[in-house]
Structures are given as C-alpha cells and as structure tokens.
C-alpha cells in the first residue's frame, strides 16, 4: 500500500457537489492499493497512521500522535498513487493497482482497523468516484509511506 498523509487544518470532500465527508484538523490520508497488498500491509499502514508523531507538544516538539490529540482521519482512495516507479514515456502507468474488489476490501478494512484497533475517528471518500477535496494543509506537512 502507498499512502500520502497530509496534516490539515480542515478538509472537505464532495462528489458532484454533495458533501460526503468533512474533518476539522488532523489528517487527510490518500490510499493506493497495489496488486500484491495483503491484510498485513494494511495493518502496518494503520499502525503507521496511528503512531506517527506529527503534532506539537507544549514545547513545540513533534511528540504527539493522532490519538494523543483526539484527531480524526479522512481516508481517500487514490489509485494514482500506484503509478509504476520509473515508468517510461509521458503517460502514467497504473498497472500496479489492485483490482477493484481487492482495493475496496483493503480500503474499507483500513478504516475498520483505525476505528476498532486504534479508536481513531475515521471518515471516507467514495471509492472510484471523481471527488473534489477542499483542503487547508498545515505546515505543509506531507509524508509518503509505502508498506
């Protein structure tokens, strides 16, 4: 799985002008599911999201994780993260992407894992939809992770 974590001040996700999900502060997490991904990859990603210390303590040090600040996560499916590294030509190569059924299953399992194992409020976009995301990025702090 490949993810991009953005620390945000706010994020609003719409599909065809309809509000689907909204968070005030915390994380946008864009999720790409690769063909070889397993439940083990998903669990590692969930642990990483829950444990990353990207929030400041009283001394201004990045020592707090999303749980410490009672934060929430907006998960956004994003198969374009599955672009093959070092692809040639000018068109992206999404051949690494998992098939739809597998991708949906792991994307939904990630939400369930964050909620049930880590007690993190987690909202979602809509799988395979053209989403409009209005975000105020904080920092900017963006991390690319792969497991």
DSSP string covering 86-97: T--SSS---TTB
The first and second tokens of residue 68, run together, are 């410490």
Give the tokens for residue 71: 């934060």
Beta bridge partners of 26: 8
Please tell me the pTM assigned to this model: 0.92
The domains found in the chain, sorted by start residue, are 2-146 (3.50.80.10)
What does the pLDDT profile of the chain (147 residues) look like in tens digits?
999 999 999 999 999 999 999 999 899 999 999 999 999 999 999 999 999 999 999 999 999 999 999 999 999 999 999 988 776 778 888 889 999 999 999 999 999 999 999 999 999 999 888 999 999 999 999 999 998
Both tokens assigned to 102: 């597998």
Q: The tokens of 5 are what?
A: 């974590």
Supply the angle between the helices 39-51 and 100-116 in degrees, to the nearest 10: 40
């Amino acid at each position: 799985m490949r993810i991009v974590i953005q620390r945000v001040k706010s994020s609003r996700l719409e599909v065809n002008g309809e509000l689907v999900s909204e968070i005030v502060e915390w994380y946008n997490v864009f999720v790409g599911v690769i063909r070889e991904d397993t439940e083990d990859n998903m669990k590692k990603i969930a642990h990483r999201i829950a444990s990353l210390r990207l929030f400041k303590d009283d001394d201004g040090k990045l020592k707090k994780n999303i749980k410490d600040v009672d934060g929430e996560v907006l998960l956004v499916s994003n198969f374009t993260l599955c672009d093959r590294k070092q692809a040639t030509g000018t068109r992206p190569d999404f051949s690494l992407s998992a098939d739809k059924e597998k991708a949906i299953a792991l994307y939904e399992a990630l939400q369930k894992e964050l909620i049930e194992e880590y007690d993190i409020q987690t909202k979602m976009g809509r799988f395979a939809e053209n989403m409009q995301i209005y975000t105020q990025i904080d920092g900017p702090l963006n991390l690319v992770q792969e497991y």
